[in-house]
Structure 1
């Protein structure tokens, strides 16, 4: 069964909701960095390990945020939902899984 095609308005709302979640996460991660005031060496080592995890999460959130911004820009120019390499329509199943993707599955595998 082929999934229903979502309207651009529905996709835009989903992307904006995800963008809001990511911005909140980034703010929370920034807040975590500011809260460190441990003086104990053992606690500082534990905090540093946690900082590395937070840095990775923050970088992933920022990357996804950039992808969402690019997808919203493609929506404005009516290019959303089409592969930026081959110009073919990206299947709905793929957009449901990765709404901000600029690539069809074939070209995503190459990038």
Structure 2
């Protein structure tokens, strides 16, 4: 059985970073609302960019939560599609991936 203790800590650290980033983005989005039309248009563009960052963070957070759930169930490191072992090199690159290299194609 493979030991994923360090990987668990890595995922939990990244999870905390994402949650902090999402809170910061939410606070920044809530603070906007300049009555000046030109300034408001610029803020709107910035808000769209921040919302995209937030959506990206949410997607990564779901991947991490899935990986942590698989760890708790003892299924982490095995492909959810074919059951093959996911290589350590792949997990080093994409620690939250649920798929082996072949199934990810």
What is the CA distance between 1:7 and its match in structure 2? 2.8
Deviations 1:63-98 (A, max 9, x none): 110111110000011100110011011111110111
Larger relative contact order (CA 8 Å, sep ≥ 6): 1
2:5 corresponds in structure 1 to: 9
Rounded Cα–Cα distance in structure 1 between residues aligned with 2:86 and 2:4: 13
Q: Pick from 16, 31, 35 the counterpart of residue 35 of structure 1.
A: 31
1:45 corresponds in structure 2 to: 41
Calculate the TM-score normalised by the size of structure 2: 0.95
List 4+ stretches of structure 1 deviating above 6 A. none
Q: Where in structure 1 are there 5+ consecutive unaligned residues?
A: 1-5
Q: Where in structure 2 are there 5+ consecutive unaligned residues?
A: none
1:79 corresponds to 2:54: no
Aligned length: 104
Superposition RMSD in Å:
1.0
